[in-house]
Amino acid sequence: MSVKEAAVACAPPWTDVGQHGLSAEARHDDAARFNFLANLNKHMSARVVGGNAIAYESRAREAYRRRTGHDPLDRREIRDAMQGDPYYQMWSSLRRSAMEMRQQAGRSLVLRQAEKLSERAQALSAVSPGTLRLDPSVEIPRYQSAVDNHCMPGSYFAEYIEGDVSAAANYDSGMFATTTGLFGRYLDGAGAGVARWLKALRPDWQPRRILDLGAGLGHNTVPLGRAYPEAEIFAVDVAAPMLRYGHARALSLGASNIVFQQANAERLFFENQSFDFIYSTMFLHETSYSALRNILREADRLLAPGGLHIHLEQPPYHGMSEFEKFLRDWDCYNNNEPFWTTVHDTHMPTLLKELGFQGDRVFETEIHALVETAMPKVAEAVEDFGRGGMWYAFGSERAA
Amino acid sequence: MRSDQNVLPDDILSLSNAASSGKRPHFFDNPDVDRLLAIVLAMAGELAVTRERLDTVERLLETRRVLERELIENYRPDATAARERGAWQLEYIARLLRILQQEAEQMQRGATEPAAEDVSRELASK
């Protein structure tokens, strides 16, 4: 290289994002905004976040001890100790602003072409209208409506025009920057990782019916559709804009065996034991205490003999230092992820056993994103608290 | 350039900038610091966008053999250009730091100047 080697690898350019039939038309400055944000995220996770530990060790803990007479005992007391620290305040304020700027960048890109995107979605979906099943009677649950998820104005479900897909287009456009390419060009690294894992576990197995819970725009459903072209796949979500967009996107990418079904994963109308494989990717942390249990009970009911289910999440807090838990909690309080902290405190294998799943082999594992050769790999990058291409996974396998 | 990409109607602009629901946290003891930092970071973002656009222009000019970028790196202004550029820099800096100049002027004049609010009350009855 003629220029001096950068100590932190830069994010892949936003123009590398995978194109499909519903990609928003981006102009120069739209891409440049995402390039700035992606590299800002890189810098923050590689160079800035570490200063919080230094601030804690060098002054915030001591200040807390002087104030209270003892060291912080758990992550809540560490948070109390850190909230007055100028470094933590600066990091938090910048991070929150970066989240908001990411939303602004995506929305200013997609809202100006919202009508065109909606028309294109309808045209693409017209090829297979029967596989987009919207149900206006589905209510948005409290855990989705109380605050806009991860500071996404209007969340997944706001509709500004008839047949709106802009919420999904915004989500799709910005995720490549937020994840700095770690989820792959089509943001499908988790789904592709699940398909690879399943093929390795059961090399000759052919699931007949597959269910993706909280599938959103189906970016992690399409890889399963490709891996199992003979299977009938259901992508379930409460948000109509995500499903409209996902349906059109999947068809444009040649995945025609996916039904996009508007439904609440807590109460599904499918018959008992009607799915061989059930999975979710980064969905459960956007639910609630009772919803998590309802969703897993539904998985138990729907799972066929010989089938299995798996759920990908950010790593559980068990075994982590209290300081790391405190840092990971940031998103819960400051990035509108209100169930984040509870879900990561939950011991999933115990919960599965409590809920049923009798006789199943309960397991925990780690799923790595499967991404294109040119995209960065998680091992080479610093994990940005849940935005890395590597997930904790749990589930169970049922006897035939 | 099509109009929908060139001119952002007001409602789309405000929708793009919309706040997410859920009370916004502030991190500094004085929320004004968060407010100011949000503006500074947005400006840094737009500066990066402008820099990237300039970089695009330079690369396209080089591709089309209009310009070699090394000429930019090694550019040495002649005396006139150097004076014009220096003058621009000074004017730019003076504009940016106007508030300091004004504060100094007022300190110089002493604390004797009335506030308009006081004058307003005075004029209302005199």
Contact A257, A229 (CB under 8 A): yes
Q: What is the pTM of this model?
A: 0.90
Give the model's pLDDT for residue A387: 58
Query: Which segment of A244-258, A351-365, B90-104 scores lowest on mean pLDDT?
Result: B90-104
Residues of chain B with pLDDT > 90, as a percent, come to 52
Separation in Å, CA of A188 to nearest CA in chain B:
26
Which of B8, B21, B41 is facing A112, going by the closest CB pair? B8
Q: Which residues pair with A261 in a beta bridge?
A: A133, A236
Q: What ipTM was assigned to the predicted interfaces of this complex?
A: 0.81
Q: How confident is the model at residue A242 (pLDDT cuts 50, 70, 90)?
A: very high
With an 8 Å Cβ cutoff, are A36 and B8 in contact? no
Check residue A383 and give its pLDDT: 52
Instruction: Please answer yes or no on whether B41 and A98 come within 8 Å at the CB atom.
Output: yes
- Give Cβ neighbours of residue A10 (< 8 Å, ≥ 6 apart): A39, A42
Domains of chain A: 1-400 (3.40.50.150)
Q: From the CA of A113, how many Å to the nearest CA of chain B?
A: 7
Question: Quick check: A100 and B38 CB within 8 A?
Answer: yes
> What integer is the mean pLDDT of B46-66?
97
Rounded to an integer, what is the distance from CA A278 to the centroid of its chain?
Answer: 17
A379 versus B95: the higher-pLDDT residue is B95
Token pair for residue B8? 């952002």
CA B126, CA B123: separation in Å to the nearest integer? 5
The answer, yes or no, to whether residue B14 has pLDDT greater than 50, is: yes
Q: At what angle do helices A86-110 and B31-63 cross, to 10 degrees?
A: 50
Tell me what the pLDDT averaged over chain A comes to: 93
- For position A1, what pLDDT does the model report? 38
- Cα dist. A333→A117, A328, B22 in Å? 33, 10, 10
- How confident is the model over A101-125, as a mean pLDDT? 97
Say yes or no for a CB contact (<8 Å) between B20 and A97.
no
Quote the pLDDT of residue A259.
98
Choice between B9 and A57, residue whose per-residue pLDDT is larger: A57
Which residue of B3, B6, B20 is the best one to mutate when testing the A interface, meaning the one whose CB has the most A CBs within 10 A?
Answer: B20
Q: Which of B37, B49, B52 sits opposite A93 (nearest CB)?
A: B37
Tokens for A72? 């912080």
Instruction: Name the phi and psi angles at A127, rounded to 5.
Output: -65, -30
Q: What is the mean pLDDT of residues B84-93?
A: 88
Contacts of A36 by beta carbon, 8 Å cutoff, 6+ apart:
B44, B45, B48, B49, B52
Structure tokens at B65: 């053999």
Averaged pLDDT for residues A107-134: 97
pLDDT given for residue A2 in this prediction: 43
Taking only the tens place, the pLDDT of each residue in A142-193 is 999 999 999 999 999 999 999 999 999 999 999 999 998 899 999 999 999 9
Distance of CA A327 to the CA centre of its chain: 19
When pLDDT is cut at 50, 70 and 90, the band that residue B109 belongs to is confident
pLDDT tens profile A304-354? 999 999 999 999 999 999 999 999 999 999 999 999 999 999 999 999 999
Please report, in angstroms and rounded to a whole number, the separation of the first and last CA atoms in chain A: 57
B4, B10, B17, B21: best to mutate for the A interface, most A CBs within 10 A: B21
Closest approach of chain A CAs to the CA of B54, in angstroms? Answer: 11
Residue A3 sits at the chain B interface (C-beta within 8 Å): no
State how far the Cα of A302 lies from the Cα of A276, in Å rounded to an integer.
Answer: 8
Six-digit token string for A93 = 């304020």
Q: Which stretches within chain A are classed as H helix?
A: 28-43, 51-55, 61-68, 75-82, 86-110, 114-125, 142-145, 166-178, 189-201, 222-227, 240-252, 289-302, 322-328, 330-334, 340-345, 348-355
Q: What is the average pLDDT across A2-22?
A: 80
If one counts every other C-beta atom within 10 angstroms of the C-beta of residue A73, the result is: 10
Q: Is A29 an 8 Å CB contact of chain B?
A: yes
Q: What is the pLDDT of residue A378?
A: 62
The residue among B2, B49, B53, B54 with the most chain A CBs within 10 A of its CB, best to mutate, is B49
Examine the pLDDT at A4 and tell me if it is beyond 70. no
Q: Are strands A232-237 and A361-368 parallel, antiparallel or unpaired?
A: unpaired
d(CA A206, CA B15): 46
Residue A316: CB atoms within 10 Å: 16
How far does A235 lie from chain B, in Å, by closest CA? 26
Cβ pair A267, A295 in contact under 8 A: no
Given CB atoms, is A19 within the 8 Å cutoff of chain B?
Answer: no
Statement: residue A133 has pLDDT above 60: yes
pLDDT of res. A323: 97
A94 has a chain B CB within 8 A of its CB: yes
Q: What is the pLDDT of residue A389?
A: 81
Contact across the interface for B20 and A101, Cβ inside 8 Å: no
* pLDDT at A47 exceeding the cut of 90: no
- Please tell me the distance from the alpha carbon of residue A35 to that of residue B52, in angstroms, as a whole number: 9
Which residues from chain A sit within 8 angstroms of residue B20, using beta carbons? Answer: 100, 103, 147-148, 151-155, 336
